Amino acid sequence: MSTVVTPRVPRAGRALRSTGAIAAATAAALLVLIGLMALATPDPIGAVGGLLTGAVSSPGRAAQWLSYASFLMLTGASVCLVFRVGMFSIGAEGQVFVGGLLAGLVALMMGPTPMAIPVGIAAAIVGGFLWALIPGLMKAYLGADEIVTSLMMNYIGTFLFAFVVKQFLMPEGAGYPVSKFFPHSNWLPTIGTAPAIPSTMILGLAACILVGVLLDRTRLGYALRMVGDSPRFAHANGLHVPRLIWVSIAVSGAVAGVAGAAIAFGSTHRLILGMATGLGFDGVLVALLAVNRPMLVPLTALAYGYLRTGGDVMQITANVPRDVVVVVQGLLIIALAAALRRRTGEGRGRPATGVVAGGPPPGTDTAPPDGNAPAGADASIPPDSGDPSRPHAPQQRQEVHDVLGKRP
């Protein structure tokens, strides 16, 4: 039977159109940026130059950029994992603080020993896992909204961190809630000198690769993605949906916990009040810019970290108010997100409305005598997937079982 599909745009045309969209979005953002800078500083061109080149203006600033980007890779990979399962959990911030707290306690209690770093990272993984397990179980078995529960766990984790540091770890005479420095042997090393590349980059890249392999190359990842696409269909295939839900949220918390250990061992070298504030929500932004693809998270993390570092430089060198810096960063991110969304949404060859590729043409009566799914329909598509070639009978779950049972 004949099929109707949307014609695909030639590859060269798609690339040219995507490049043009990115260039246009960047140009528009820069024009708005220069206009804002003209209102905020007498030297708008210099301020824009500080934003665009500040992250590489010195070895120290380049190291700061790479360090912050590595933390974003960890939280971005964490968020990608849970978003791909269809759960909008935003608890990475609390998990980062809990992981950092446990890693710091291990470093302070074990003293100068080579085992402090691996044991501390393991403690951060366990802490992040258990902290995310609470909203995961509540979502899976009680139906609680994961947005609310994970957000509340952020507050609890942040204030728990502050309480422990103030009450038990703050040295006498300290003017700010901090712990004492870890022994120098418990610091993560750097690679090179100009700039000093933080070894936390290895943790960030490894997390992105592992999460990508888990989601796209393993049976567990396939099951998790099936739950994200259609929980009812996953259940009809015999998957334990509640268990997969809490496992995905808890594992994402374990990845976020590593970010807390990376900050403590690789950046602050002690526990500081507010040392990871905003990192979890920045990870959400990085994951969304990467279209929830872990392998793209390093690129978006580097881009976002570059803007953040450049904004800090612009604020210092050009005396630009912090509020204007945040607005500028937001405009650039919106432009980048629009361009990336256009690029990833083009040329996928989706079928035309009302017609399924490989199925019968519209208006053809193909219902078999036994009243099951229409002949020619793909048995792998669940009844609740929105496919117009499938009947939406009340007993959808039973129909799925019937179709699956008749596969050769």
What are the backbone dihedrals phi and psi of residue 147, each rounded to the nearest 5 degrees, phi first? Answer: -65, -45
Alpha-carbon span 224 to 246, nearest angstrom: 11
Beta partners for residue 197, in sequence order: 191
The torsion angle over the Cα atoms of residues 397, 399, 405 and 408, rounded to 10 degrees, is -130
Quick count: other Cβ atoms within 10 Å of Cβ 233?
22
pLDDT tens for the 408 residues of the chain, in order: 455 555 555 655 665 665 666 677 667 777 777 787 778 778 778 888 888 888 888 898 999 999 999 999 999 999 999 999 999 889 999 999 999 999 999 999 998 998 999 999 999 999 999 999 999 999 999 999 999 999 999 999 999 999 999 999 999 888 899 999 999 999 999 988 778 899 999 999 999 999 999 999 999 999 999 999 999 999 998 999 999 999 999 999 999 999 999 999 999 999 999 999 999 999 998 998 898 999 999 999 998 999 889 888 888 887 888 777 788 777 777 776 666 655 555 444 333 333 333 333 334 343 444 444 444 344 444 444 444 334 443 444 454 444 334 333
DSSP for 345-397? HSS--PBPTT--TTSPPTT-----TT--SPTT--TTS-TTS--TTS---S-HH
Are the C-beta atoms of 292 and 132 separated by less than 8 Å?
no
pTM strictly above 0.85: no
